[in-house]
């Protein structure tokens, strides 16, 4: 999987708008683990547990052609836009009234091919 690290300003405008919306009080997205901005819902998130504990998550295309293993405790939400997934590098960044930390944080971009 190709991965690159981006600053907030390097993220696509749609992702920046979403993060700003959450910071401004759009609480409906705070409890989501997976946010899909693409028009098609081609992805799913599976949580793999060991007993009652989360071991890791798998983000995959529904046709089974691509999957990414996401370690336990990795910051969420995972945002999908234009065949790429964006993950915050830092914990507790994407939440309400936290815009300053959102723009200071780094993000990982993975190409889903």
Q: What is the pLDDT of residues 95-113, one digit of tens each?
A: 666 778 888 889 999 888 7
Query: pTM higher than 0.85, yes or no?
Result: no
Domain count, the chain: 1
Range of the domain at 61: 3-111
Distance CA 2, CA 57 (A): 18
CB-based contacts of 40: which residues, under 8 Å, 6+ apart? none
At residue 106, the 3 state secondary structure works out as: strand
Query: What's the angle, vertex CA 37, arms to CA 33 and CA 41, rounded to 5?
Result: 80
Digit-by-digit pLDDT tens for the chain (113 residues) are: 678 999 999 999 999 998 888 777 665 666 678 888 877 778 888 999 999 998 999 988 888 778 888 888 778 788 999 889 998 888 777 766 677 888 888 999 988 87
Termini Cα distance of the chain: 8
In DSSP terms, 109 is beta-bridged to 4, 86
């Amino acid at each position: 999987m190709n991965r690159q690290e981006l600053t907030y300003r390097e993220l696509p405008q749609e992702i920046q708008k979403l993060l700003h919306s959450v910071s401004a009080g759009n609480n409906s997205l705070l409890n989501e683990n997976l946010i899909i901005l693409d028009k098609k819902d081609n992805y799913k998130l599976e949580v793999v547990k060991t007993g009652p504990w989360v071991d890791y998550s798998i983000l995959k295309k529904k046709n089974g052609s691509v999957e990414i293993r996401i370690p336990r405790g990795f910051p969420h939400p995972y945002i999908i836009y234009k065949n790429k997934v964006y993950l915050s590098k830092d914990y507790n960044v994407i939440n309400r009234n936290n815009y300053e930390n959102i723009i200071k944080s780094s993000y990982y971009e993975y190409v889903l091919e």
